[in-house]
Structure 1
Amino acid sequence: MGIETKEEVFYLPGREIRLLVVKDIEALVTNPDDEDNIPYWADIWPAARPMAWHIWDHMDFQGAEVMELGAGLGLPGIVAGLKGARVTFSDYKEEALEMTVVNARANGVEEVETYLGDWRDFKLDKKFDWILGSDILYNPRLNPYAEEILLTNLKEKGNLLLSHARRPVTYQALERLKDKGGFREEVKVIPVTIEDPYYPNYLVSLHHLHRF
């Protein structure tokens, strides 16, 4: 990959997840005005952490087909794999998927699939029992495409598990999803603290959407 990495440890009750992360994210930014090439994938977003905790503590994915959409470094999907899921990681950056596969296998999730795809031209012809997404519905320009994928690639009685740092635009997207998909919703709010000198504390909303 040619990207300098470092190891970060994510702690679950009774388990450590060791992840390779990008050492210097700013070094990957070649043009800050080119939004499509900002390396959003290269860090563990705050919303991914409570989702991983929730999956570890409360979910049983044994035998389920699960996709992590906008996987980035793949933390929630890796934990889902440890809980029995057959995981497909999807991102639009090849480097993200390469690092995710390395991280998954390093943590004992051997059998994974990947799909490299831009949401605006998403051609994955597969439906899933669960789709996971942490902070993926943040861009009004891209949200309609993500929403379409969440509806199209979900099985008839499938489930969505979506987390976000309480962005108004995300709540709007979730309302559209509920209206279009006929979902019932369960919501938890989980505090998370990260190592950031400027913004260390977040409240993350975790939404489980399932059909009637």
Structure 2
Amino acid sequence: MTKLPLQLQQINREGYSVSLWVPDAAAVQASYYHQKEQDNTIPFPHWTRLWPAALALTDYLHTHPELIRQKNVLELAAGLGLPSLIAARQAATVCCSDYLQEAVDTMEQNIRHNQLTNVTGSLINWHHLPPQLQPDVLLMSDINYNPEDFSHLYQVLLHFLQMGTHIILTTPQRLMAKPFIEQLLPWCVAQQEVNVQDTQVTILELSNQH
């Protein structure tokens, strides 16, 4: 995808606000359809949107600062990285990551714009995790949308749980993802249902230290 023009948006939520560079939606659509004419298998660039599950995760971090205070935090498949930006207000360090370079470039611009010195943008694909990753807290939002990924994603979460990482995961309530979520419930230490932008979102905290 060609480099997309960005627009500065002010995100105002209950109790906090943050400004965020977001790809222009019309430019995203035009670029996507142009590329799809050349290659019908091109996936839609989901990272370019701020999804309800990301807002739910960000709200949750704001209202539960004790979960990330002075912790080393990793966000995988972060897209625009809004949860990481809010986590940075409490965490010791934050690694905000995605597997697409343009997403990382955009999150790095947001890190600079918000003058955050404890956050780094990083190119990480959760299909091929670097061995040195050992976060205290893992953040993931809206990552369980492709059933073909569920088996590997479960192994990724299990890997972090086994090393003692506390996981905070938010997901829209998709029927196809119900079996995947049920697999995680043995590690669930807190669960909450919220409505964000007319979307029902489940928030799960997962830990192997009940």
* TM-score for both structures, normalised by structure 1: 0.84
* Unaligned segments of structure 2, at least 5 residues: none
Q: Please name the residue that 1:198 is paired with.
A: none
CA RMSD, Structure 1 to Structure 2 (Å): 2.1
2:178 corresponds to 1:174: no
Residue of 181, 203, 206 corresponding to 1:206: 203
- Whichever structure has more helix as a proportion of its residues is 2
User: What is the aligned partner in structure 1 of residue 154 from structure 2?
Assistant: 147
Match of 1:16 in 2: 17
CA distance in structure 2 between the aligned counterparts of 1:113 and 1:154, rounded to whole angstroms: 23
Match of 2:64 among 44, 58, 62: 58
Aligned residues: 201
Is 1:127–1:152's contact at 8 Å kept on the other side of the alignment? no
* Match of residue 101 from structure 1: 108
- The aligned residue for residue 25 of structure 1 is 28
> Which of 42, 55, 68 in structure 1 is aligned with 2:48?
42
Residue in structure 2 matching 1:189, options 189, 193, 200: 193
Distance (whole Å) between structure 2 residues aligned to residue 116 and residue 87 of structure 1: 14
2:120 counterpart letter in structure 1:
E
Distance 1:20 1:155, change over 3 A: farther
Structure 2 distance, partners of 1:185, 1:43, is: 29
Q: Deviations over 1:162-189 (max 9, x none)?
A: 111101233322222345xxx1332111
Secondary structure of 1:84 counterpart: coil
The residue number in structure 2 matching 1:84 is 91
Deviation per residue, 1:68-108 (Å, 9 max, x gap): 11100001111111122411112110110111121123224
- Structure 1 stretches of 4+ moved >6 Å: none
The answer on whether the counterparts of 1:164 and 1:170 sit within 8 Å (CA) in structure 2 is: no
Letter in 1 for 2:79: G
Could you say if the C-alpha distance between residues 170 and 161 of structure 1 is closer, same or farther in structure 2, counting changes exceeding 3 Å?
farther
| Alpha-carbon distance, 1:126 to partner | 1.2
Letter of the 1:44 partner, please give it.
Answer: L
Please tell me whether the aligned partners of residues 5 and 22 of structure 1 are also in contact (alpha carbons under 8 angstroms): yes
Distance 1:153 1:98, change over 3 A: farther
Q: TM-score, normalised by structure 2?
A: 0.85
What residue identity is the alignment partner of 1:188? Q
- What amino acid sits opposite 1:65 in the alignment? N
Identity of aligned residues (%): 26
Superposition deviation, residue 160 in structure 1: 0.9
Counterparts of 2:122 and 2:158, CA distance in 1: 17
Cα deviation, 1:29-78, whole Å, max 9, x if unaligned, reads 2227325x421111101111111111112223222111111100001111
Who is 1:112 aligned against? 119
**Which stretch shifts more, 19-28 or 168-177?**
168-177
Q: Which runs of 5+ in 1 are unaligned?
A: 194-200
Write 1 or 2 for the structure with the bigger share of strand: 1
